[in-house]
Structure 1
Amino acid sequence: MSINKLLAASVLATALIGTNAQAAAAQPVVSHHTVDVQGVKIFYREAGDPKAPTVLLLHGFPTSSFMYRELIPKLADRYHVVAPDMPGFGFSDSPDRGKYAYTFDNLAKTMDGFTEALALKRYAIEVFDYGAPVGWRLAVAHPERITAIISQNGNAYEEGLSEGWNPIQRYWKDPTAENRNALREMLKPESIKWQYTHGVSNPDSVAPEAYTLDAAFVARPGNDEIQLDLFGDYANNVKRYPEFQAYFRKYQPPLLAVWGKNDPFFLPAGAEAFKRDDAKAEVHFYNTGHFALETDVEAIGGEIHRFLDRTVGKAH
């Protein structure tokens, strides 16, 4: 897809979000910025008082900070909310694969650099999908910085992996060109739309600009290979699950799991498993799919706000 079509899709998405001017005026203003992190331009959305407790929102595949477009204003009345696009996603840079290794270790290194560039000393993390293994790495590296954790279908347990991972796991075990190419089906627009609509009681309630914009970003020249690299490297997240679980056991962070129970990739068992290691874990299920915020942002946003008020916001 050409950059002009990509920008047109973005403009359309922005226009569709802002049709109700009066409602938008009543919400906290979301601003859009870029910052250089180790030579990579990182785009991010920001709202709320910078002096308030910070909440760092980490997106997943195949999306970007755009997935948090409706959640950000709901939290920004009392919190400083920051949502970056990781390298290779959204409006952040997509460095050449020969210059930037698309591994979860490296994404976490860049996101760590992002928090330091913005001087975020302490923050809660909201993690989804790919954002989870990135967030877990930040927590393991800097436990003193993490004030609370919100996991929206962000997994840390093998029992949370569904059969939907079978083709990717096949590639882990036998990384042939044939097995790699088989994963290209997951990058097609119809597959991306399916991720948004599967398990949703009313698929027509899912805003089309979300999966349309994701598909446009993934269709950029070379982005397919970036995504396939990350599919392959996800095996290293599973290998580190015991380390992440040890973090939960040792530090007992306030943890809220808000989970679309019909997720085709991350099963409810993955949410329940947090309770095994973290006595402070709270788990809530919603009758929706992978991208739960697309259909249940009012309920989930309210639960997150109350959780933050009980934990990081009670002294503010």
Structure 2
Amino acid sequence: MNDRKQPFFLGSLIMITAALTNSALAEPTNPQQVQHRTVKVNGLDIFYREAGPQDAPTVLLLHGFPTSSHMFRNLIPELADKYHVIAPDYPGFGNSSAPPVDEFDYSFANLANVMEQFTEQLNLEKYSLYLMDYGAPVGFRLAVKHPERVDTLIIQNGNAYAEGLDNPFWEPIKAYWKNPVPEQGNKLRSLLTLGATKWQYTHGVRNPSVISPDTWGHVQPLLDRPGNQEIQLALFLSYGSNPALYPQWQEYLRTHQPPTLIVWGKNDQIFPAAGAYPYKRDLNNLEFHLLDTGHFAIEEEGQTIAQLMRSFLCRQTD
């Protein structure tokens, strides 16, 4: 190239590149596209997925054991055209910080404290709560403390009643509550193996071929991280603090009557359908669905759950 033409060429190239960059920056992000973010809460990195218009009604998705916000990867886009959807990972799960047990109190009370600070840091003043498995004891603590913030509840295999915990799955865990010694805790390590994780995803489903191996392929390496079994054992022990709070949570339901949608995998052996029916005693505005699937109902019945949520939320929050 002629040396005299290089400055003009380079200058034009820089101007074109800058124009394209500015145009890309000015173009608004598609609000339905899922964003993957991290925020600091008490020195911890709390990872979360977010999508949807910021000014739309918020849906806060609280995950179960042993997964993370990954369980909502398909649900979030199904809601994000009309709702501001946020799904965090608790400490010790997913992509959030996982400090060792001697540096962080892995209790449900503390997980709820972190999630409370998370919502306040994101300025979430009102939200619907999706409660699944561990999400129930975390979410009910939030609801009892701040009932004015809760628009609705969506409950999927999450207990607030003693019914449903009286089954063989819970027997060794209850024995650990009564006798919290290392020997008793070590008996629960079998619940943290690949076989147990796959069982949670596949037991009770109608068609195992629709359950993606990406589920346990995501979860198990996180469970296998050094120190993570101790985190999970601490939470197995802490789960014993939840039944004592059930009367308080039930009083919250009776007093505040949050509109509630139940979408429950009826073949779940961890939280069977027996735990779903008692909600009928305390709630007046209740939509109740038992789905013919297992513990992670959202894996086999994700489209059904999304449709039921959209219909329910449209009536209750629009």
- Normalization by structure 2: what TM-score? 0.89
> Which AA in structure 2 matches 1:176?
V
Deviations along 1:178-233, one digit per CA (max 9) or x if unpaired, are: 21000000000111000000001221210000111111110000000000000001
3-state SS, counterpart of residue 261 of structure 2: strand
For residue 284 of structure 2, what is the amino acid of its counterpart?
A
Q: Provide the identity percentage.
A: 53
Residue of structure 1 in register with 2:111 after alignment? 107
Between the aligned partners of 2:181 and 2:110, the Cα distance in structure 1 is: 23
- Per-residue CA deviations over 1:243-272 (Å, capped at 9, x if unaligned) read 111100000000111000000111212111
AA of the residue aligned to 1:209:
D
Q: How many residues align?
A: 288
- Pairing of 1:164-183 with structure 2 (within 5 A): 164-183=169-188
Q: Is 1:77 aligned with 2:81?
A: yes
Structure 1: give runs of 5+ residues left out of the alignment: 1-25
Matches of 1:119 and 1:144, distance apart in 2: 14
Any unmatched runs of 5+ in structure 2?
A: 1-29
Counterpart residue identity of residue 242, structure 2 = N
Q: How far did 1:27 drift?
A: 9.4
Query: Following the alignment from structure 2 to structure 1, what is the Cα–Cα distance between the partners of residues 77 and 300?
Result: 16
Distance 1:299 1:84 in 2: 23
Paired residue type of 2:257 = Q
Pairwise CA RMSD: 1.1
Quick one: distance in 2 between partners of 1:305 and 1:263?
24
- Give yes or no for contact 2:162–2:275 (8 Å, CA) kept in 1: yes
> Does 2:275 match 1:270?
yes
Aligned to 2:162: 158
Q: Secondary structure at the match of 1:60?
A: coil
1:199 has 2:204 as partner: yes
8 Å CA contact 1:44, 1:65 repeated in 2: yes
Q: Does 1:50 align with 2:54?
A: yes
Instruction: Work out the CA distance in 2 between the residues paired with 1:69 and 1:27.
Output: 15
Amino acid at match of 1:45: R
**Based on CA coordinates, which of the two structures has the bigger radius of gyration?**
2
Q: Distance in 1 between matches of 2:282 and 2:262?
A: 13
Q: 2 CA distance for matches of 1:301 and 1:153?
A: 16
Partner of residue 95, structure 2: 91
Q: What residue is the counterpart of 1:219 in the other structure?
A: 224
The residue number in structure 1 matching 2:295 is 290
Q: Per-residue CA shift, 1:14-56, capped at 9, x if unaligned? A: xxxxxxxxxxxx9920010000011111000000001000000
Q: Does 1:254 align with 2:254?
A: no
Question: 2 CA distance for matches of 1:164 and 1:276?
Answer: 25
**1:50 counterpart letter in structure 2:** Q
